[in-house]
Amino acid sequence: MFGLSRLSLRLGGVSRRHGDRRLIATVVSGNKTARQVKQRLQVQVEQIQSRFSGFRPGLVVLQVGDRDDSNLYISSKLKAAAEIGINAKHIRLPSSSSQDEVLRTVLGLNEDPEVHGLIVQLPLDSDRLMDQDLITNAVSPLKDVDGLSCVNAGRLSRGELRDCFLPCTPQGCMELIAQTGVSVAGKQAVVIGRSKIVGAPMHDLLLWNHATVTVCHSRTRDLPDQVGRAEVLVVGMGRAEMVRGEWIREGAVVIDCGINHVPDDSRPGGKRVVGDVHYASASQRAGFLTPVPGGVGPMTVAMLMQNTVISAQRFLQSQTRT
Ligand code: GUN
């Protein structure tokens, strides 16, 4: 027999109640939204190519070392770029590279007119001492399609959203929230995690979209209480299934940025991927919930593609102005 709650989950559409009158979350599909974004970008790239005789937006993914998880993320970025018509290149430097070698590579790519987007895949997998902030800040703000440089992060923190590149994961989360039809303006939003790549920029984006935002982190004392107040909850802390359904406010929009591998003998490879939210219990309380996998992950990739196309368009505009 299938479980009743499993049968009651729906992709898209409105939430339903079943026999015991409990709310069952609507699943917010990142796969579906990412596909739509990529289709739109593909059309835009075709238009750019026909207008500027064969011009292609260019993206470089710079990797230091050879982490398995990074290799997986990079291959999905390269695949998406190929589908859209973006000219993507993967440069891998050995783990033994010095910080100066990495910096020189970044500075060289900053000068290359065929590169419109440049990202340094994180974390760096290096045998040497590396200042990750120094390296991400060496990327030209004009090509920083990850939105991780101080210039872009500073603009976002000041609410200058049009002038910066928005970090891909938080931007993807905002798109998924938009899919629910729930406006964040005036809502109580709670972000769990304060990383530069997810939590901190997520706070900024929610704030400048007029939510009242609380950021929780490893020293937050009353996490379940904070979670319980959230009408919009974004979780990016990297702890498998830590947020329990019982904590969640009924009807909340819950966006799970976690990608965690947990042991599972029943699966080929002996593990499976779960989010930071305990999905089964959260689906009994939330109004909307993103799955893992198939939620935020594909949106991060789609937003990277979008930023790259925007950067290429800005480049073309700067060329036609001179
Ligand atoms: N590592 C995990 N996610 C990301 C991302 O969005 N950008 C970069 N550069 N590295 C990552």
Q: Domain holding 237: CATH number? A: 3.40.50.720
Q: What is the mean pLDDT of the chain?
A: 93
Give the list of residues 6+ apart from residue 207 with CB closer than 8 angstroms, or none: 159, 213
Please give the pLDDT value at position 2: 31
Residue 169 near ligand 1, beta carbon < 6 Å: yes
**Is 222 a domain residue?**
yes
| Whether the Cβ atoms of residue 200 and residue 236 lie closer than 8 Å to each other | no
> Residue range 295-305: average pLDDT?
98
What span, in angstroms and rounded, lies between the C-alpha atoms of 296 and 291? 8
Q: How many folded domains does the chain comprise?
A: 2
Report how far ligand 1's centroid is from the alpha carbon of 167 (Å).
Answer: 9
79 is annotated as an active-site residue: no
Cα separation, 300 vs 126, in Å, equals 24
pLDDT value for 320? 85
In a domain, 153, yes or no: no
What pLDDT score does 92 carry? 98
pLDDT, one tens digit per residue, over 112-164 is 999 999 999 999 999 999 999 999 999 999 999 999 999 999 999 999 998 89
138 Cβ neighbours under 8 A, 6+ residues apart:
103, 106, 107, 110
Would the pLDDT of 6 be above 70? no
| pLDDT confidence of residue 3 | 34
Ligand 1 in reach of 120 Cβ (< 6 A): yes
Give a yes or no: residue 251 inside a domain. yes
Residue 311 lies in a domain: no
Residue 62 falls within a domain, yes or no?
yes
Question: For residue 210, is pLDDT > 80?
Answer: yes
Domain co-membership, 125 together with 189: no
- What is the Å distance from ligand 1's center to 122 Cα? 5
Is the pLDDT at 21 greater than 80, yes or no?
Answer: no
In this prediction the pTM is 0.93
Q: How far apart are CA 162 and CA 158, in angstroms?
A: 11
Peptide bond into 293 cis (omega under 30): yes
Average pLDDT over residues 155-177: 96
Interval 54-104: pLDDT, tens = 899 999 999 999 999 999 999 999 999 999 999 999 999 999 999 999 999
d(CA 215, CA 194): 7
Question: Of 91, 125, 143, which marks where a domain is finished?
Answer: 143
In this prediction, residue 255 carries a pLDDT of: 99
State the DSSP H helix or E strand holding residue 24, giving kind and residue range, or none if neither. Answer: strand 23-24
Please report where in the chains the tokens 């005789």 appear, as a residue. Answer: 53
211 and 248 housed in the same domain = yes
Task: Report the chain's terminal Cα–Cα distance, integer Å.
Answer: 68
Closest atom of ligand 1 relative to the 167 alpha carbon: 6
Task: Report the separation in Å between the CA atom of 197 and the middle of ligand 1, taken as the mean of its atom positions.
Answer: 7
Give pLDDT, residue 213: 99
Phi and psi at residue 23, to the nearest 5°: -75, 135
pLDDT band, very low/low/confident/very high, at 22 (cuts 50, 70, 90): low
The Cα 233–Cα 223 span in angstroms is 12
Q: For residue 96, with 0-12 CB atoms within 10 Å meaning exposed, 13-18 middle and 19 or more buried, which class applies?
A: exposed
Residue 292: give the domain boundaries: 8-28+180-297
| pLDDT score for 13 | 35
User: Residue 169: inside a domain, yes or no?
Assistant: no
Q: Does the residue 234 lie in any domain? A: yes
